[in-house]
A and B are shown apart, each in its own frame.
Chain A
Amino acid sequence: MTAIAGVEYTGLTALRGPLAFIDAVPGLAFHDQVELTVADGTTRAGRVLGVSDRAAVIEIFGATDGLTLGSTRLRFLGSPLRLGVGRELLGRTFDGMGRPRDGLPPPLVVEERPIEGAVINPCRREYPREFLETGVSAIDLLTSVVLGQKLPIFTEAGLPHDALAMQIVRQARAPGVEGFALVFAALGLPRPVALRYEEMFRGSGALGRMVAFINVADDSAAERLITPRCALTAAEYLAFDCGMHVLVILHDITNYGESLREVSSARGEVPSRKGYPGYLYSDLASIFERAGRIKGRPGSLTMMPIVTMPSGDVTHPIPDLTGYVTEGQIILDRALDRRGVYPPIAVLPSLSRLMSDGIGAGRTREDHEDVARQLYAACARVERARSLAAIIGGDELSEDERRYLRFGDVFEAAFLKQDASEARSIEDTLSRAWRLFADVPPADLTRLPSELIERYLPRGGAASPSRAMEVAR
């Protein structure tokens, strides 16, 4: 492409962390791909992070130990990082840079695409409105996912987020969708966790319609920055060129953020919060905003990144800025997990922002939105009653409050809790919710229009009006 393509250079002037410095190379372009050959003959990939008429900075993907200034040879490829895409990616496992990791030869590709992707013109986006049924009650009813949404799972170390992710992968379905293509990116996962995922993929039979990109904990931090971009380039091809519905799981965004901080500080950049670079938000957005739908194209790209909140702190820059980019969040809760509730989804702080236009008559059921709102209201009362009980003791509570304490227990046992292999239809989920309402004082069912109450509230179980008067305070 350019004059320098293919020519070899030597003479690194400095090495610092994942960064290498070299004197000016004429014609070298910003973000160009570099191949470094070390004295022992092994190669590393790299990318130009900055160029001037005096020097260039190169970010090295892969181990940097053993690199020397004098003997390392560089070859500039004259183009930005690319990933070969094609249908043959399906069924394959790659490393964090898109090189086969499954011992098979490289797949047949139809095209090489820059991994940075391109920005979808907002005027060409299709507003996501198609309900995706995960078979998990708490998600389907209260934080409904739609095709093309980006909805992260906020979790803590040791919670069963991978089981939940796998359950969603196995069960996800939508009208007219034959089964999802799945793109999985492991970002700095410990090897045993990555292995467990790979086993689960094999066991679930999903392997044939998935692509995996694996960057494990001891792979290079710089490589981790391009792994999600490789995964998304593959996903975009499958979604927008092949018309598939693609679910992308990125695990773990927190490791990604740490790598960004590492590379940033090696470059000597001014940090903002907790040492993370000021562009963390924009950088995360350049990943998450690749989810969506496009007018006139049949496929969709739905993203469920997994974010481990460091010390469970949701205000930590990584979950915080993720929440500012994504369209809601599903929050897993340690206390629920301790009580043996799977999936341990904290209902109140969880949210799906694209829900209201993707549910209701013709999509899920006419009562969906009202039922969700009523359930939220009831859960908020449970929360209040529980915190009050913790302060003044259960005996001091009013009858009403005690009733909500009981409601909370029933809610967890009969609605929230479900087996990791249990797929509930949205109808089943909705009728479970209605059965719960039978225990709510009718005067509190303010979010439900009376027509719906008549149609769906189970008879007999409902508290009688006189009883309601008695307990109303």
Chain B
Amino acid sequence: MTGPAGHLIEISGALVRARCLAPVGLNEVVYVGDERLVGEVIALDGDVATMQVYEETAGLSVGAPVEASGGPLTVTLGPGLLGGAFDGIQRPLDRLAISQGDFLGRGQHLAPLSADRLWEFRPTAAAGAMVNAGDELGIVRETDALDHRVLVPPGVSGRLADIAAPGAYRIGDRVGAIGNGAGSVDVGLAQRWRVRVPRPFRQRLRATAPMLTGQRVLDTFFPLSCGSAAGMPGGFGTGKTVMQHQLCRWARADVIVFVGCGERGNELTEMLWKLPGLVDPRTGRPLAERTILVANTSNMPVPAREASIYTGATIAEYYRDMGYHVLLLADSTSRWAEALREISGRLGEIPAEEGYPSYLSSRLAAFYERAGHVVTLGGREGSLTIISAISPAGGDVTEPVTRHTQRFTGCFWTLDKRLAEARVFPAVSVEDSYSAAFADLESWWHDEVSPDWAPRRREALKVIEEAGRVRHAARLVGEDSLPDRQRLVLRVAELFEEGFLRQSAHDAKDASCSPARQVKLLSLLLDFYHRGLEALDRGVPVPALIALPVAAALARAKSTYGDDEIAGLDALAARVARECAGAGKAETGGAAS
């Protein structure tokens, strides 16, 4: 580029306009002002370009130069992403801290991935072979938890003219050359991809396996399938972030991309502090080795917040294309929608509802469409699952972001303020949550875990629902006037809540729960219920049943017997049978009168 492409004619917050001397393209990256702030062209009108600036704009003046970069905003994809922390447009926060100090400065252009670091490359394709997009050229061991497959980029195919020998390479080095009629394309360890464009794949597959979270209320009652999307609305303090952190830790995904989108700085600091010390239960390696943080906190520039979920999704798709199961956690998409609203407002667009632009719903739809269980271009099976927190204004779930998200996700985990206030965690409301994935996943649970899962789950939901009705009646007439059966339902529902639904993030044995243990716990509780009903028929009073020592043991079973102590639960089952059968005889009957 020789000379500036244009000069500023207007500055209004994060939005600036320039009159252009040379043509610039839509979505082209520009450098604004003498400090060369990063911006992106978002509208063109005659020779006037409107740009959003990804950095603080104070101090910019009319007439300041605008320089065109010649290319669109991209994400750099290659080894070194895992364990990294980036801002919304993929500036490396950890390396920025070294070059800039404690506070984020302006106009710093650091490449997302280190250009000097050497990676051990092992070729897996042979020179001379015909290769297509998505085919593997070689492998880099990115972390001890994960092999990074170096793939032929989308849109490239031909004869592999050259492939690098095993050895250490930098991300800028060429590791392969692919020739076709038009010439030769070099393939390096890293590639770039447009930030808002989904990466292609060959074919969508039906969801058949769950994305296990280790959280009982989710896995058992509101399961999510691999490759689908879930929304998690909840007022402030209801536990969205804690849940996302739990999922980051326990979800059975190969790679996790956590997008902190307009939330608190300290929450990201907490992750940066804790992740390296936490061990991935599946690989035995530090969790940081499978995690990528995209962090654009609430006080960072708003346009970069808008870009952050796309940056996260693109990185996630990149690992999906290697054949991995990737989980994208976004906290929170409401803040992303607000960024959209703010930019739209500054553009002077006509708002639809609550100031949001009318394209809010299509943008949300496009984002959730990026979830999927797919056959990649290279013929591997991979998936991208999206779980996004939603922060409805005033906790009102009829507001636009919540409502539209509901249309594009099959799974909704609603967090309830009242439960959170009573410190019942996770505060997932059984009444207000749903999942459409149950039917798809029934056979997985049947084959892989236990045939009991589906029937037990249905039955448990029935008990909980009945308890809701009975509780309502009890509120009107007092509990003592209810028939025994209903009083037992109430007590059993409480036992369900304590012994199954409630799961503390801080419990060493119970923070995560394996599928097998979930089914066992559920069966135990239902077994107690059935035997309790039989005992009622024999004339045993409800208080005597509830006072059985085994009832207290059931409430605590989740924290007494961890995932590798299932035998303890079997022993407990025998105790349930014994004590229920003995109830009403001699001692227990007397004490409860």
- Contact between A297 and B543, CB atoms less than 8 A apart: no
Cβ contact of B592, chosen from A30, A289, A469, cutoff 8 A? A469
Cα–Cα distance between A294 and B546 once the two chains are bound (Å): 52
Known: A323-B236, A324-B236, A327-B266. A473 touches B298 (CB 8 A): no
* Chain A hits for B103, CB < 8 A: 118-121, 124
- Contact between A353 and B237, CB atoms less than 8 A apart: yes
- Contact between B93 and A121, CB atoms less than 8 A apart: yes
- Contact between A396 and B298, CB atoms less than 8 A apart: no
Chain B, Cβ-Cβ closest to A294:
B102
- Contact between A51 and B338, CB atoms less than 8 A apart: no
Chain B, Cβ-Cβ closest to A116:
B58
- Contact between B345 and A278, CB atoms less than 8 A apart: yes
* Chain A hits for B391, CB < 8 A: 324
* Chain B hits for A50, CB < 8 A: 10-13
- Contact between B58 and A31, CB atoms less than 8 A apart: yes
Interface string of A383-420 (1 = CB under 8 A from B): 10000100110001010000000000000000000000
Q: Residue A102 at the B interface, CB < 8 A?
A: no
Q: Residue B61 at the A interface, CB < 8 A?
A: yes
* Least CB distance, B363 to chain A, in whole angstroms: 15
Q: Residue B325 at the A interface, CB < 8 A?
A: no
Q: Residue A270 at the B interface, CB < 8 A?
A: yes
Chain B residues within 8 Å of chain A by Cβ, number: 80
- In the A-B complex, the 9 residue pairs with the smallest Cβ-Cβ separation, listed nearest first, are A285-B298, A315-B394, A52-B10, A118-B103, A31-B58, A272-B355, A323-B236, A29-B61, A289-B299
Known: A53-B62, A317-B393, A324-B391. A120 touches B102 (CB 8 A): yes
Q: Residue B447 at the A interface, CB < 8 A?
A: no
- Contact between A127 and B273, CB atoms less than 8 A apart: yes
4 other A-B residue contacts (CB within 8 Å) besides A52-B11, A119-B297, A469-B591: A26-B62, A51-B62, A272-B356, A277-B345
* Chain A hits for B506, CB < 8 A: 356, 369
Q: Residue A242 at the B interface, CB < 8 A?
A: no
User: Interface with A: B224-232, B434-442, B474-482, B563-571, which one?
Assistant: B474-482
Known: A120-B103, A315-B395. A125 touches B236 (CB 8 A): no
Cβ contact of A125, chosen from B9, B269, B345, cutoff 8 A? B269
- Contact between A24 and B355, CB atoms less than 8 A apart: no
- Contact between B351 and A270, CB atoms less than 8 A apart: yes
CB-CB contacts below 8 Å: B336-358 with A: 338-339, 341-342, 345, 351, 354-356
* Chain A hits for B302, CB < 8 A: 279, 282
Chain A residues within 8 Å of chain B by Cβ, number: 84
Interface string of B530-550 (1 = CB under 8 A from A): 000000000000110011000
Cβ contact of A122, chosen from B9, B85, B105, B335, cutoff 8 A? B85
Cβ contact of A281, chosen from B295, B335, B355, cutoff 8 A? B335
- Contact between A392 and B475, CB atoms less than 8 A apart: yes
* Least CB distance, B477 to chain A, in whole angstroms: 8
How many A-B contacts at CB < 8 Å in the complex? 221
Q: Residue A320 at the B interface, CB < 8 A?
A: yes
Known: A317-B394, A327-B266, A398-B480. A351 touches B104 (CB 8 A): no
- Contact between B592 and A122, CB atoms less than 8 A apart: no
- Contact between A472 and B543, CB atoms less than 8 A apart: yes
* Chain A hits for B395, CB < 8 A: 315, 320
- Contact between B547 and A373, CB atoms less than 8 A apart: no
* Chain A hits for B270, CB < 8 A: 127, 357
Chain B, Cβ-Cβ closest to A351:
B237
- Contact between A121 and B102, CB atoms less than 8 A apart: yes
* Least CB distance, A108 to chain B, in whole angstroms: 25
Q: Residue B47 at the A interface, CB < 8 A?
A: no
Known: A325-B298, A327-B266. A118 touches B475 (CB 8 A): no
- Contact between B59 and A380, CB atoms less than 8 A apart: no
Cβ contact of B58, chosen from A114, A269, A295, A391, cutoff 8 A? A114
- Contact between A52 and B266, CB atoms less than 8 A apart: no
What are 26 A-to-B residue pairs whose CB atoms are below 8 Å?
A: A30-B58, A30-B61, A52-B9, A53-B10, A118-B103, A119-B103, A119-B297, A127-B269, A127-B273, A148-B266, A270-B355, A272-B354, A278-B345, A281-B338, A282-B302, A285-B262, A286-B298, A295-B102, A315-B395, A315-B396, A348-B421, A354-B266, A392-B476, A446-B555, A469-B591, A472-B543
Chain B, Cβ-Cβ closest to A264:
B345
* Chain B hits for A321, CB < 8 A: 393
Q: Residue A204 at the B interface, CB < 8 A?
A: no
Q: Residue B572 at the A interface, CB < 8 A?
A: no
Cα–Cα distance between A99 and B296 once the two chains are bound (Å): 35
* Least CB distance, A358 to chain B, in whole angstroms: 12
Chain A, Cβ-Cβ closest to B478:
A396
Q: Residue A257 at the B interface, CB < 8 A?
A: no
Q: Residue A443 at the B interface, CB < 8 A?
A: yes
Cα–Cα distance between A177 and B321 once the two chains are bound (Å): 53
Q: Residue A273 at the B interface, CB < 8 A?
A: yes
Cα–Cα distance between A121 and B97 once the two chains are bound (Å): 7
- Contact between B272 and A123, CB atoms less than 8 A apart: yes
B interface vs A, CB < 8 Å? 9-13, 17, 19, 56-63, 85, 93-94, 96-97, 100-105, 235-237, 260, 262, 264-266, 268-270, 272-273, 295, 297-300, 302, 335, 338-339, 341-342, 345, 351, 354-356, 391, 393-396, 421-423, 475-480, 498, 506, 542-543, 546-547, 552, 555-556, 591-592
- Contact between B394 and A320, CB atoms less than 8 A apart: yes
Cα–Cα distance between A289 and B476 once the two chains are bound (Å): 47
Cα–Cα distance between A24 and B421 once the two chains are bound (Å): 54
Cα–Cα distance between A32 and B591 once the two chains are bound (Å): 80
Cα–Cα distance between A215 and B356 once the two chains are bound (Å): 33
Q: Residue A292 at the B interface, CB < 8 A?
A: yes
Chain A, Cβ-Cβ closest to B268:
A122
Known: A30-B11, A469-B591. A396 touches B480 (CB 8 A): yes
* Least CB distance, B92 to chain A, in whole angstroms: 9
Known: A278-B338, A282-B298, A289-B298. A125 touches B61 (CB 8 A): no
Q: Residue A126 at the B interface, CB < 8 A?
A: yes
- Contact between B59 and A30, CB atoms less than 8 A apart: yes
Q: Considering residues B101, B298, B354, B546, which has the most beta carbons from chain A within 10 angstroms of its beta carbon?
A: B298
* Chain B hits for A392, CB < 8 A: 475-478
Q: Residue A166 at the B interface, CB < 8 A?
A: no
Interface string of A359-395 (1 = CB under 8 A from B): 0000000000100010011001001000010011000
Known: A114-B58, A348-B422, A377-B423. A128 touches B266 (CB 8 A): yes
Q: Residue A234 at the B interface, CB < 8 A?
A: no
Cβ contact of A289, chosen from B105, B264, B273, B556, cutoff 8 A? B264
* Least CB distance, B16 to chain A, in whole angstroms: 8
Cα–Cα distance between A97 and B436 once the two chains are bound (Å): 56
- Contact between B345 and A123, CB atoms less than 8 A apart: no
* Least CB distance, A46 to chain B, in whole angstroms: 15
- Contact between A118 and B59, CB atoms less than 8 A apart: no
Cα–Cα distance between A294 and B102 once the two chains are bound (Å): 7
* Least CB distance, B588 to chain A, in whole angstroms: 9
Chain A, Cβ-Cβ closest to B299:
A289
Q: Residue A28 at the B interface, CB < 8 A?
A: yes
Interface string of A53-95 (1 = CB under 8 A from B): 1000000000000000000000000011000000000000000
Cβ contact of B57, chosen from A27, A30, A279, A470, cutoff 8 A? A30
Cα–Cα distance between A69 and B534 once the two chains are bound (Å): 89
Q: Residue A343 at the B interface, CB < 8 A?
A: no
* Chain B hits for A421, CB < 8 A: none
Chain B, Cβ-Cβ closest to A323:
B236
Chain A, Cβ-Cβ closest to B422:
A380
Cα–Cα distance between A24 and B56 once the two chains are bound (Å): 22
* Chain B hits for A351, CB < 8 A: 237
- Contact between A289 and B297, CB atoms less than 8 A apart: yes
Chain B, Cβ-Cβ closest to A31:
B58
Cα–Cα distance between A325 and B62 once the two chains are bound (Å): 34
Chain A, Cβ-Cβ closest to B423:
A376
Known: A122-B265, A285-B299. A297 touches B102 (CB 8 A): yes
- Contact between B421 and A349, CB atoms less than 8 A apart: yes
- Contact between B93 and A122, CB atoms less than 8 A apart: yes
* Least CB distance, A239 to chain B, in whole angstroms: 12
Cα–Cα distance between A289 and B262 once the two chains are bound (Å): 11
Q: Considering residues A124, A317, A391, A392, which has the most beta carbons from chain B within 10 angstroms of its beta carbon?
A: A124
